[in-house]
């Protein structure tokens, strides 16, 4: 039953009984209110349509009449209706009404609204249901129902035998029928697709087999290398190192040395090969390290060094060295992270480099030293690494480069070009045509002893033979790299050659590189490297004498 509104406040509401929406049964189509207000059925989608037809029967099609309205039920007094609804007075708000009648006191989980077919509601059209993606089986069933064709899949044994090699993203496009909304494949197209698919599977299978063979080959070589290292380690520990002076120059030891030193004895062999001509002791290292720490402390506190200048080095040079060390340590083997700030070897590397700047103030710190010191730290203890580092940089070649002795550096470059022309004449002429001189790529290689340019394990093997053969092997390694990439470099211009040699490919292997190094002959007109370099030094001295001014009479 409905309750007619008695005043302006209650006239706006047409409500059911005092029961809440939860307790109320599902209402049927209720008769309209005698005051002309439309009852809104919340579960009906076409309430607005019914109301519109009732209010405007003249718009119905010709010959149709509006449905007869049932007689209104007996009216209740307004006060009784208010009492049943629990409304205190006409001033009650809509919020109170909806809160007390339409919302239950217990919160329930909201169920997602299910969209249905298009229809009409009170304030607009219901949005159409979105097209949900159909499963391939449903599409196939619809296609079979419409065309009457039944798809018979091949037996499982004959279909997709090599499923691991199949490119699954294209299987449905090639093997299956098209969806129902697309034209069906012709016989020729289906056969062509089947042939293309078989070719793709065959190529994928070949590629997979090739990669599997490559992986197996790498694993076999690795196992073989580990076995050789294990057997070589026994020989080095038990036979060679105890009799170092007597066996180091024998043919057997030199051949074993060429194959690479076992990591467990590498540091020891390096120390013995480099020697200690400077007679540095661990105690001397501690002295220079404490001096370096005092300078760092005073430099950090005052921003400058107030000590008396050492011989051959100014305060500005020492300050610049300290700043360069801090900057370069963070850029030393950045992929390893062990030399970065907070890493296990950061302070150790800082100590070795700082102690060297105090030990050799005439040289100071030069960019590239951090890589050499880092490689030594990875293979030696702290004091032994410093001793090897100081003696290594005291060699003529390293001293000439790190002291930036231009005349000596030019002699090394000239000697390198002699053997470059002898071993790689085509590439030598190609470089000459672009005026590409050795200093463009050799300086970085010599300054870091290839530890920056080559992978670390390969650089350590280069160091092995460098400790055996001396500075000659550094330039022989450079020629081996040029020989390895000769075909590529012949196709490049000046800019691309410089960029390529500055950053070598990361996939370079020790077997390929050392094969090319072995093919390099360090002889020119029956002259070895040392003889060629000595003749260049002699010619330079004679030239200096000829260009010197005549003495005054």
Output the DSSP codes for 434-499.
TT--THHHHHHHHHHTTTTTS-HHHHHHHHHHHHHHTHHHHHHHHHHHHHHTHHHHTT--HHHHHH
Give the number of other Cβ atoms within 10 Å of residue 88's Cβ.
9
CATH class of 402-542: mainly alpha
Token pair of 298, please? 């005073």
Give how far Cα 528 sits from Cα of 33, 418, 431, 470, 472, Å: 119, 11, 24, 13, 9
Spatial separation of the C-alpha atoms in residues 472 and 476, rounded to whole Å: 6
pLDDT band at 302 (very low <50, low <70, confident <90, very high): low
Share of the chain above pLDDT 90, in %: 44
Is the domain defined by 265-300+317-394 classed in CATH 2.40.30.200? no
Residue 88 gets the label, from left (phi > 0), alpha (psi -120 to 50) or beta, of alpha
Spatial separation of the C-alpha atoms in residues 203 and 88, rounded to whole Å: 84
Identify the pLDDT of residue 13: 39
Token pair of 532, please? 């060629």
Instruction: Evaluate whether 295 touches 322 at the Cβ level (below 8 Å).
Output: yes
Token pair of 70, please? 């049932």
210-214, 243-247, 332-336, 492-496: the lowest-pLDDT one = 332-336
Sign of the CA dihedral running 492, 477, 533, 385: positive
Identify the pLDDT of residue 166: 45
Identify the pLDDT of residue 218: 85
pLDDT band at 171 (very low <50, low <70, confident <90, very high): low
Share of the chain above pLDDT 70, in %: 62
Identify the pLDDT of residue 137: 66
Question: How much is the average pLDDT of 542-549?
Answer: 54
- Over residues 333-373, the pLDDT tens digits come to 988 889 988 889 999 999 999 999 999 998 889 988 999 99
Token pair of 383, please? 């004091």
pLDDT at residue 157 is higher than 60: no
- Over residues 63-80, the pLDDT tens digits come to 444 444 444 444 444 445
Instruction: Evaluate whether 357 touches 318 at the Cβ level (below 8 Å).
Output: yes
Helix axis angle, 471-484 to 510-518, nearest 10°: 110
- Over residues 479-536, the pLDDT tens digits come to 999 999 999 999 999 999 999 999 899 889 899 999 999 999 998 878 889 899 898 8
Q: What is the average pLDDT value for the chain, to the nearest integer?
A: 75
137-146, 201-210, 324-333, 364-373: the lowest-pLDDT one = 137-146
Query: pTM to 2 decimals?
Result: 0.61
pLDDT band at 33 (very low <50, low <70, confident <90, very high): very low
Spatial separation of the C-alpha atoms in residues 314 and 215, rounded to whole Å: 57
Spatial separation of the C-alpha atoms in residues 421 and 292, rounded to whole Å: 46
Would you list the domain boundaries of the chain?
189-259, 265-300+317-394, 402-542
3-state helix, strand, coil in the chain (%, to 5): 60, 0, 40
Identify the pLDDT of residue 169: 53
Spatial separation of the C-alpha atoms in residues 162 and 207, rounded to whole Å: 14
Question: How much is the average pLDDT of 219-246?
Answer: 90
Identify the pLDDT of residue 174: 59
Q: What is the CA radius of gyration of the chain?
A: 46
pLDDT at residue 310 is higher than 70: no
Identify the pLDDT of residue 537: 86
Instruction: Evaluate whether 232 touches 262 at the Cβ level (below 8 Å).
Output: yes
Identify the pLDDT of residue 285: 96
The more confidently predicted of residues 494 and 83 is 494
């Amino acid at each position: 039953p409905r309750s007619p509104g008695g005043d302006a406040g209650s006239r706006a509401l047409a409500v059911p009984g005092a029961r809440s929406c939860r307790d109320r049964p599902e209402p049927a189509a209720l008769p309209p209110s005698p005051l002309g207000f439309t009852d809104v059925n919340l579960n009906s989608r076409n309430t607005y349509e019914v109301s519109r037809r009732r209010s405007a029967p003249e718009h119905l099609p010709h010959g149709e009449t509006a449905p007869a309205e049932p007689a209104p039920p007996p009216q209740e007094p307004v006060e009784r209706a208010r009492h049943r609804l629990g409304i205190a007075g006409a001033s009650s708000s809509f919020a109170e009404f909806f809160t007390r009648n339409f919302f239950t006191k217990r919160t329930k989980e909201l169920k997602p609204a299910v969209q249905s077919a298009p229809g009409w509601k009170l304030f607009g059209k219901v949005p159409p249901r979105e097209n949900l993606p159909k499963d391939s089986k449903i599409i196939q069933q619809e296609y079979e129902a419409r065309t009457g064709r039944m798809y018979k899949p091949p037996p499982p044994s004959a279909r997709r035998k090599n499923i691991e090699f199949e490119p699954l993203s294209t299987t449905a496009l090639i093997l299956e029928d098209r969806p129902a909304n697309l034209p069906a494949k012709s016989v020729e197209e289906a056969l062509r697709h089947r042939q293309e698919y078989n070719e793709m599977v065959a190529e994928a299978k070949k590629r997979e087999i090739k990669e599997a063979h490559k992986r197996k080959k790498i694993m076999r070589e690795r196992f073989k290398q580990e076995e050789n290292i294990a057997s070589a380690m026994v020989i080095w520990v038990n036979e060679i190192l105890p009799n170092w002076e007597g066996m180091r120059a024998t043919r057997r030891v030199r051949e074993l040395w060429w194959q690479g030193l076992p990591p467990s004895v590498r540091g020891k062999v390096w120390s013995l090969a480099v020697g200690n001509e400077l007679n540095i002791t661990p105690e001397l290292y501690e002295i220079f390290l404490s001096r370096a720490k005092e300078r760092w402390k005073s430099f950090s506190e005052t921003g400058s060094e107030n000590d008396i200048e050492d011989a051959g080095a100014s305060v500005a040079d020492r300050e610049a060295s300290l700043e360069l060390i801090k900057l370069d340590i963070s850029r030393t083997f950045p992929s390893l992270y062990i030399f970065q700030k907070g890493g296990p070897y950061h302070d150790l590397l800082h100590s070795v480099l700082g102690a060297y700047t105090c030990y050799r103030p005439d040289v100071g710190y030069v960019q590239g030293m951090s890589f050499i010191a880092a490689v030594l730290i990875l293979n030696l203890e702290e004091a032994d690494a410093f001793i090897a580092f100081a003696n290594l940089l005291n060699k003529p070649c390293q001293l000439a480069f790190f002291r930036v002795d231009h005349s000596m550096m030019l002699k090394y470059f000239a000697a390198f070009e002699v053997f470059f022309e002898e071993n790689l004449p085509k590439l030598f002429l190609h470089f000459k045509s672009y005026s590409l001189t050795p200093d463009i790529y050799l300086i970085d290689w010599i300054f870091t002893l290839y530890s920056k340019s080559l992978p670390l394990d390969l650089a350590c093997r280069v160091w092995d033979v460098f400790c055996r053969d001396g500075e000659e092997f550094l330039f022989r390694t450079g020629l081996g790299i040029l020989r390895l990439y000769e075909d590529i470099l012949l196709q490049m211009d000046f800019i691309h050659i410089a960029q390529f040699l500055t950053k070598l490919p990361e996939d370079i292997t020790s077997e390929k590189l050392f094969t090319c190094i072995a093919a390099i002959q360090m002889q020119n007109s029956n002259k070895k490297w040392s003889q060629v370099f000595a003749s260049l030094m002699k010619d330079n001295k004679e030239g200096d004498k000829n260009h010197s001014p005549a003495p005054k009479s």
